[in-house]
Amino acid sequence: MPQRRTTLRDRRVLIVEDEALLTMLLEDGLSEAGAEVVGSAGTVFEALQIIERVAQDGGLDAAVLDINLAGESVTPVANQLAALGVPFLFATGYGTDCDMGAHAAAPVLHKPFATERLVAVLEAIVSFTPDGAGAFWRD
């Protein structure tokens, strides 16, 4: 039996992704790494609701954000997370010139990516606290 990874033990993570299959894969991979997935959202509205709920119930340690949610920009979610001091990464199918708005320093993973890469980036951003969090990582 393979040993369960626990590198993100007790870290609370939000997934904002509009593709259900990818959401399930992300949830499984993060759970295997020991993270607690506090919710998943396929729209900006759902994500903002989850953030508000979770902020009152233990908060968030990190989030994984798809840049484009069925044609809707994830920017309002990124703005809210930044205002709360919650680190996040972008997961996107767009090329290297994708528009991240005011969050150009955020880490970016380009789809498809291995779960191990996702876990490594999340580990880095939840443990990295100086100014410019995430500016060190590019996929």
User: What DSSP line would sit under 64-91, residue for residue?
Assistant: EEESEETTEESHHHHHHHHHHT--EEEE
Class of CATH domain 12-115: alpha beta
pLDDT tens digits for range 43-91: 999 999 999 999 888 899 999 999 999 999 999 999 999 999 999 999 9
Contact present, 79 and 110 (Cβ < 8 Å): no
What is the bridge-based pairing of β-strands 68-69 and 72-73? Answer: antiparallel
With cut-offs at 50, 70 and 90, classify the pLDDT of residue 104.
confident
Q: pTM for this structure?
A: 0.86
Contact present, 36 and 12 (Cβ < 8 Å): yes
pLDDT tens digits for range 109-128: 998 999 999 999 999 999 86
Q: What is the pLDDT of residue 102?
A: 84
